[in-house]
């Protein structure tokens, strides 16, 4: 049974955030700006998300790391700002509860004048963040809140999850073999099937895998992480590597060695919603 509890509101370098603590000690911290999860520590375990220590905590800018929410456009695949606007906007904390097995928070973002000027649609987004035991569950809901005679809209979305790794060259990502991927480091190159059962990262990597249907496993020599997703058919795997990382003002020179983005996404076939319709997608991280 869940109990409503007073959310623990904290300040992270001047930006408001909510800290979730489950009864078993698992914790997560969510910045209200962008509904960006910045920290996840499973019960009895260390931090599992990467956040750059050089991040600027600036109003209207996403922090470099954690889990930025990408909506309604992925990257530059459309007319909007890169990766859409949801990650830059202040979300509202709707509720926060501590249950028997987890602690959760629900955050909401609705259209406003600025979003309508860029993207003329009425929408409501809800991100539910639940933490408990070894799990972090992130569920994104999108609703078309326009009147019955409004135009349908379509969108792309992603949970742009920055996973913390001890040394990226030691990590292996399993579960992608056979999926067609687009190599975004080689624009215009044809889709190709992933040949490897255990993807190793040893160079700049920026790939979109389409049509994933099974959980992924990120293996490190000392631990593993299962990455499950529902209704997010695509997976983005990103590491900027040395040169791009050095060119990023908000990353330390060796930051690329401590992170790997494994993103649950819907990119290849954008979701279309009629007025009144809803969609949801979920990414779950399970630490062993």
Cβ at position 70, least distance to ligand TA6 in Å: 8
Cβ at position 44, least distance to ligand TA6 in Å: 31
Cβ at position 62, least distance to ligand TA6 in Å: 6
Q: Over the range 146-179, which residues count as b (16 or more CB within 10 Å of their CB) and which as e?
A: beeeeeebebbbbbbbbbbbeebeebbbbbbeeb
Cβ at position 156, least distance to ligand TA6 in Å: 11
Q: Over the range 66-105, which residues count as b (16 or more CB within 10 Å of their CB) and which as e?
A: bbbbbbbbbbeebebeebbbbbbbebebeebbbeeebbbb
What's the CA gap between 6 and 120, in Å, rounded?
Answer: 36
Residue 147 vs 187, nearer CB to ligand TA6: 187
Footprint of ligand TA6 on this chain (CB under 6 A)?
75, 82-83, 160, 184, 206, 236, 238, 261, 263
Task: Find the residue with minimal CB distance to ligand TA6.
Answer: 238
Residue 156 vs 273, nearer CB to ligand TA6: 156
Residue 61 vs 284, nearer CB to ligand TA6: 61
Give the angle subtended at the CA of 2 by the CAs of 136 and 94, to the nearest 5°: 70
Cβ at position 155, least distance to ligand TA6 in Å: 16
What's the CA gap between 3 and 113, in Å, rounded?
Answer: 35
Cβ at position 115, least distance to ligand TA6 in Å: 18
Cβ at position 182, least distance to ligand TA6 in Å: 11
Residue 41 vs 73, nearer CB to ligand TA6: 73
Residue 192 vs 278, nearer CB to ligand TA6: 192
Q: Which helix (H) or strand (E) holds 45?
A: none
Residue 14 vs 187, nearer CB to ligand TA6: 187
| 21 backbone dihedrals φ, ψ, rounded to 5° | -130, 115
- The torsion region of residue 35 among left (phi > 0), alpha (psi -120 to 50) and beta comes to left
Q: The sheet that has 223-230: what strands, in order across it?
A: 3-4, 92-98, 103-110, 123-132, 135-144, 278-287, 223-230, 216-220, 172-174, 198-200
Residue 106 vs 236, nearer CB to ligand TA6: 236
């Amino acid at each position: 049974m869940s109990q409503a509890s007073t959310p623990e509101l904290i300040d992270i370098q001047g930006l408001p955030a909510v800290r979730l603590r489950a009864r078993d000690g698992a914790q997560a911290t969510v910045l209200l700006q962008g509904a960006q999860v910045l920290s996840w520590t499973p019960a009895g375990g260390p931090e599992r998300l990467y956040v750059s220590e050089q991040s600027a905590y600036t109003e209207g800018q996403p922090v470099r790391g954690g889990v930025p929410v990408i909506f309604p456009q992925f990257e530059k695949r459309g007319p909007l700002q890169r990766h859409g606007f949801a990650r830059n906007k202040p979300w509202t904390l709707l509720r926060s509860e501590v249950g028997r097995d987890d602690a959760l928070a629900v955050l909401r973002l609705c259209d406003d004048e600025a979003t309508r000027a860029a993207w003329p649609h009425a929408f409501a987004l809800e991100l539910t963040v639940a933490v408990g035991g070894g799990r972090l569950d992130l569920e994104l809901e999108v609703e078309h809140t326009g009147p019955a005679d409004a135009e349908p809209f379509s969108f792309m979305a992603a949970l742009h999850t920055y996973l913390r790794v001890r040394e990226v060259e030691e990590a292996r990502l399993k579960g992608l073999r056979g999926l067609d991927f687009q190599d975004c480091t080689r624009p215009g190159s044809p889709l190709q099937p992933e040949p490897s059962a255990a993807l190793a990262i040893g160079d700049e990597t920026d790939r979109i895998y389409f049509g994933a249907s099974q959980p992924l496993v990120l293996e490190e020599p000392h631990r593993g992480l299962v990455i499950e997703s529902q209704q997010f058919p695509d997976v983005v795997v990103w590491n900027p590597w040395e040169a791009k990382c050095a060119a990023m003002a908000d990353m330390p020179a060796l930051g690329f060695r401590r992170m790997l983005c494994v993103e649950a996404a819907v990119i290849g076939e954008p979701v279309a919603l009629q007025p009144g319709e809803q969609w949801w997608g979920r990414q779950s991280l399970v630490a062993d």
